[in-house]
Amino acid sequence: MHAYQHFWHTGNPIELPLGKIVCVGRNYAAHAKELNNPVSDTPLLFMKPATAATVMEQPIHLPQGRGEVHFETELAVLIGKPLTDATEKDVRGAILGFGLALDLTLRDVQSQLKAKGQPWERAKAFDGACPLSPFVPAEALDPKEPITFALDIDGHRHQRGTTQEMLFPIVPLIAHISEHFTLMPGDVVLTGTPEGVGALHQGQKLTLQLGEELLIDTRIA
Ligand code: ZN
């Protein structure tokens, strides 16, 4: 397996190591509802290791024989400074870039784990479970405007999201995460998926869009 590396949307490498990917579940009410999950008053957090990351434009290989693999399209935040018990001001100064991620999920495995009250790593942290797009510098996006993103599969829109619909908005969410786990430069935070998740199948063509800034084509190998 090739080691994953972060890139800017210009194609230049970002010289920061990916240590971990911290993810939030159920950050959009409509998605929590579609999976019959309750929404809570504190964010549901889990992690993916660096070995889960792949370059999104490369063909995506699905695990075989482990049931359905679902796509979850998520806004990804690239951290540029260490954050421990951070204030919201610290967080604003530490966001280096924005990109897109697929939080690939073995949904059948996850359902079995949930039923047994077990952790989700087998369903969420496998090799290749986190295709990541190149990143757009944070300054390129207007902080006062909502960030929007979308996923098309074979020309049909399946998911669209906007930061306006997040139950836990990005800056307080990252401040909260930093109270539990120190975030290091190169770490990535996935901010949850909007509704419309579903199973991936071999041969599908995916197009992911982040505002006007990024357009990524990839396919399921
Ligand atoms: Zn997710």
Q: For residues 132 and 6, is the Cβ–Cβ distance under 8 A?
A: yes
Residue 14 lies in a domain: no
Residue 3 lies in a domain: no
Look at residue 2 and tell me whether its pLDDT is greater than 70.
no
Q: According to DSSP H, which parts of 25-169 are helical?
A: 29-34, 88-94, 107-116, 121-124
Domain extent at residue 153: 20-219
Residue 8 lies in a domain: no
Query: What residues does the ion ligand 1 have nearby, CB within 5 Å?
Result: 72, 103, 193
Q: How confident is the model at residue 73 (pLDDT cuts 50, 70, 90)?
A: very high
What is the CATH classification number for the domain harbouring 45?
A: 3.90.850.10
Look at residue 72 and tell me whether its pLDDT is greater than 70.
yes
CA of 101 to the centre of ligand 1 (A): 9
CA of 147 to the centre of ligand 1 (A): 17
Better-predicted residue by pLDDT, 38 or 165: 165
Q: How confident is the model at residue 169 (pLDDT cuts 50, 70, 90)?
A: very high
Look at residue 1 and tell me whether its pLDDT is greater than 70.
no
Look at residue 79 and tell me whether its pLDDT is greater than 60.
yes
The predicted model gives 96-116 an average pLDDT of 97
For 138-142, the CB contacts below 8 A with 24+ separation are 138/95, 138/96, 138/97, 138/98, 140/213, 141/98, 141/211, 141/213
Please state the domain count of the chain. 1
Residue 64 lies in a domain: yes
Residue 12 lies in a domain: no
Q: For residues 74 and 195, is the Cβ–Cβ distance under 8 A?
A: no
